[in-house]
Structure 1
Amino acid sequence: MEQLSLELETILEVVRVRQEVQERPIKYKTGMISSTYAGEFGIREIGDEASEVVLVVVLNTKNEINAIHRTFAGSLNTSVAHPREIFRTAILNNGARVMLYHNHPSGNTEPSNADLSFTRRIIDAGELLGIEVVDHIIVTGTEYYSLREANII
């Protein structure tokens, strides 16, 4: 009779997730006080990037910034970010709301169908988690387009 051999493996449990906190070179007001301020914020942060970047700004219940996180950098004209990356940042930073940003290196702020589809997917995921998506702002080096201002979300 053949004897079964079972190897014992160690199973590790993650007991703490640690984030690295970095001082930002640019100082901002603590709260997102208007769409204009939010748009200018995005232009300063990622407007001049050569490839698409998704930026998540995590807000508390008073719309004060808890964290700013570059979630994904893509290619010249695409960026594929998954809801788990977006909301991981919000959850780890005690966020009540998020603002999404991404840039269009082409210089055209008009949202594509992929941008609209991505936004809807993130809003739906946020509703499940109880984290509001305040706005999704598309930026270039000099302009911004707020999906909230355009009544798209």
Structure 2
Amino acid sequence: MEKVPMTVRGEQLLREELDRLLKLRPKISQAIAEARELGDLKENAEYHAAREEQGICEAQIRDIEYKLSIAQVIDVTKLDNSGKIIFGSTVTVIDVETDEEKSYQIVGDDEADIKTGRISVSSPIARGLIGKIEGDEVTIVTPGGEKTFDIDKVEYK
């Protein structure tokens, strides 16, 4: 089974969600038991809704447990970083054409959220940045065309 990179923060968020779902399990079971007491299960909307919620909850638990089982948690603060852009590092780049400054943290696929500046390690921008150092200029082929960036700052938080 191939390991999937994940940041410490990503693992923490998954464990918190798993904990929340595990605490929800008994409440769902209680709701099913209470709905059973209402009578005929064929026409019992509360029972069917509780069973559906149970199915969704169990599927989410299995999904999170699987993700955690294949995760290779990488703590970027404990690596010999030597100024290179690596998985988990936060990079500030300046678009050469527009002078627009953007910051990206390179994270695992499940953690990616462009709105918060976290990009997947398998994205074109991340692949183009990995291995570069502060001060480099890099041209990356993106779905929107070629982009040229100056690497302004590399941080390991």
Please indicate the TM-score interval, normalised by the length of the shorter structure. under 0.3
Larger Rg: 2
With normalisation by structure 1, the TM-score equals: 0.23
TM-score by length of 2: 0.23
1 or 2, which has the higher helix percentage? 2
